[in-house]
Chain A
Amino acid sequence: MSRELANGIFSAVTWIAMGLCGLILIFLLAVMIWNGIRAVDFEFLFTASRNFGAGGGIFYQMIGSLLLILFAALICFPLALGTAIFKSEYLKSARVQRLCAVLVYGLNGVPSVIFGIFGLVFFVNVLGTGISWFVGSIILAMMILPTVVLATYHSINSIPEIYRESALALGLNKWQVIAKVLLPQGIGGAITGLFLGLARAVGETAPIMFIATAFTGVEIPGSFFEPVTALPTHILALAQQAINEQALQNAWGASFVLICLVTVFSALGLWSRKKLKTVGLR
């Protein structure tokens, strides 16, 4: 019967599609893990790089990446928190809410290379900061801002009205309600959003490659306005020398470490979503 045939064909097509996707994705993972693990050892992790990365290890690259995202977190978190609180507790008009949502979440759609260019134009040239790791952190903070705002907003907004009303009825003013009741409960969501944002930020190349990083001769920056070296840009440099066996191997190793970092932050995000869930939140 024709309907049964159609049913069978449809099933077969979707199974094949899934199988194909599965094969592609497993291949990717296998390649990354297999090549990566072979390239990483203790020496690799803790030596400085030499020879434009073709030799040596990735010690300072790891430190650079972590430094960048640490400060990105420090800059982004208070801003995101304030914005989310404002959206959730102070904004009442639906139109303004939507406008605000569009402006903040629109930021999420901006391609990462544009962030890099903006940094180049605004900070490096107009403000004259030169290649600076701190500027890199600022740009990364801008990039993950929507993610953190979103997570925090959801977390605070979903706290039931009854908590606010009980606190107000006890005589607390608005800010005290926020600081003493909402923030403690909502901070879990904010932290989750931050981890997820950082998972993305640590892997980004384009925002920082023009403005924060240099490929050689950089170890730990001495001041706010010096360049730094980071994992993604290092991988980029190595990829461009892929003919060189050693460079390629180091590229895989650096990639593997980077993937591990991304996974760690993502895992932290998911773990914190479970652990820091409190009363009234989803």
Chain B
Amino acid sequence: MSVSSKFGRVYVVGSTFISATLILVIILFLAINSWEAIRQSGLRLFTLEWNPSKEKFGILPMIYGSAAITIISLGIALPLGISAAICTSEILPSRFRLYVKSLLELLAGIPSIIYGLIGIVFLSIWVERAFDLQSGRTIFTGGLLLAVMVLPTIVTLSDDALHNVPQKYREAAKSLGFYRYEVIKNAVLPIAKTDIIGAALLALGRVLGETMAVMLVIGGIDRIPGSFFNVLVPGQTMTSKLGREIAETAFGSLHFSAMIFIGLILLVFVLLITMIALTFFYNPEHRLYE
């Protein structure tokens, strides 16, 4: 093998090695740094009270917050987004498609901090007035904001999924005398189903991992609401906890280690969901541009 070929081989193998191990390195370092907390607190990490001064590091309030926000946001965005996608893909005349898609792509690319700004300036005020609260910074606000944030992505991915169903299936169903909604329900949706589920899982991963928008509107209180389903109170998610406090936590302390543990749990959750989502896409590749 000539010199240039040898050099080339070293370059590509080296690059791939670095790229492939990055994620392992990240997981490793998170694990190492949370070890101290795991060792000292063990299962008490999964309790309800977070109070560093008393060496209590219960992360359940954060998990509750993340779960609540996810359920609220997806509960709003998924039905709304998929229905809208059915409209843009199957019902809207095709000459509008280009504009709608471009608008959606533009919105999907807006940085999350800007959504956070909008959340503070508009959404939390509206929630405060609508429900007559002391503060508009609640779990509900966070869920609502994330719903709006993830909506363009859901619409655009579902629209792609529906659009990719070959025209011949629609024609076959139409030729049998199906009404339009029957064509969609019986012929198009079953075929697009796995892609849409993949899109939903991707959205789920995004919502779980979102920090900036949530951090600004959730209120930052490490407590599960007194009444379990009352989401009109301030709360905390795993991401908002990390975003708000890690910079001020002393490195190497037990407190820090517990924070890293939160990060580790978050990472594991999100990775699991992303892996499942990848196996759902027929062509997992083309949509990772975002």
- A residues near B, CB below 8 A? 3-4, 6-7, 10-11, 13-15, 17-18, 20-22, 24-25, 28-29, 31-32, 78-83, 85-87, 89-90, 100-115, 117-118, 120-122, 125-126, 142, 145-147, 149-151, 153-154, 173-176, 178-179, 193, 196, 199-200, 202-206, 209-210, 232, 235-236, 239-240, 242, 248, 251-252, 255, 258-259, 262-263, 266
Contact = CB atoms under 8 A, between A and B. Distances in A.
B87 A236 contact: no
A211 to B, nearest CB: 9
A117 B258 CA distance: 13
12 contacts: A28-B118, A78-B15, A100-B16, A103-B19, A104-B23, A106-B23, A111-B239, A118-B29, A203-B112, A209-B243, A236-B216, A239-B116
Given A78-B15, A236-B212, A106 B243 contact: no
Contacts of B16: 82-83, 86-87, 100
B247 A193 contact: no
Contact of B15 (A28, A86, A203): A86
Given A83-B19, A100-B16, A175-B5, 10 more contacts: A7-B181, A17-B79, A21-B84, A25-B104, A111-B267, A113-B242, A118-B30, A125-B252, A209-B247, A235-B113
A121 B29 contact: yes
Contact of A106 (B2, B9, B182, B275): B275
Contacts of B7: 175
Given A108-B274, A111-B267, A145-B22, A239 B91 contact: no
Nearest to A256: B114
B274 A109 contact: yes
Contacts of B92: 18
Chain A CB count within 10 A is highest, among B212, B266, B278, for B212
B133 interface: no
B194 to A, nearest CB: 18
A122 B27 CA distance: 12
Contact of B111 (A100, A104, A205): A205
Interface stretch (B37-45, B164-172, B282-290): B282-290
Residue of B84, B148, B252, B266 with highest tally of chain A CB at under 10 A = B84
Interface in B172-227: 179-182, 184-185, 205, 208-212, 216
Contact of A111 (B116, B148, B266): B266
A193 B289 contact: yes
Contacts of A153: 285
A112 B86 contact: no
A263 B105 CA distance: 10
Contacts of B113: 203, 205, 232, 235-236, 239, 255
Contacts of A28: 107, 110, 118, 148
B122 interface: yes
Contacts, number: 267
B12 interface: yes
Interface centre among A6, A102, A103, A106 (most CB of B within 10 A): A106
Contacts of A31: 118, 122
Contacts of A145: 19, 22
Given A18-B84, A121-B29, A251-B117, A107 B111 contact: no
Given A31-B118, A31-B122, A146-B288, A179 B103 contact: no
Contacts of B105: 266
B288 A79 contact: no
B138 interface: no
Interface majority SS on B: helix, strand, loop or mixed? helix
A18 B83 contact: yes
A45 B83 CA distance: 42
B109 A109 contact: no
Contacts of B83: 13-14, 17-18
A5 B11 CA distance: 64
Contact of A24 (B151, B270, B271): B151
B288 A108 contact: yes
Nearest to A17: B83
A82 B11 contact: yes
Contact of A82 (B4, B12, B114, B184): B12
A21 B151 contact: yes
The 8 closest A-B pairs by CB, nearest first: A82-B15, A203-B111, A111-B209, A109-B274, A175-B8, A17-B83, A10-B181, A86-B12
B84 A150 contact: no
Contacts of A236: 113, 116, 212, 216
Contacts of B86: 14, 17
B130 interface: no
A204 B111 CA distance: 7
A202 B110 CA distance: 11
A117 B242 contact: yes
Interface string B222-247: 00000000000000000100110011
B19 A80 contact: yes
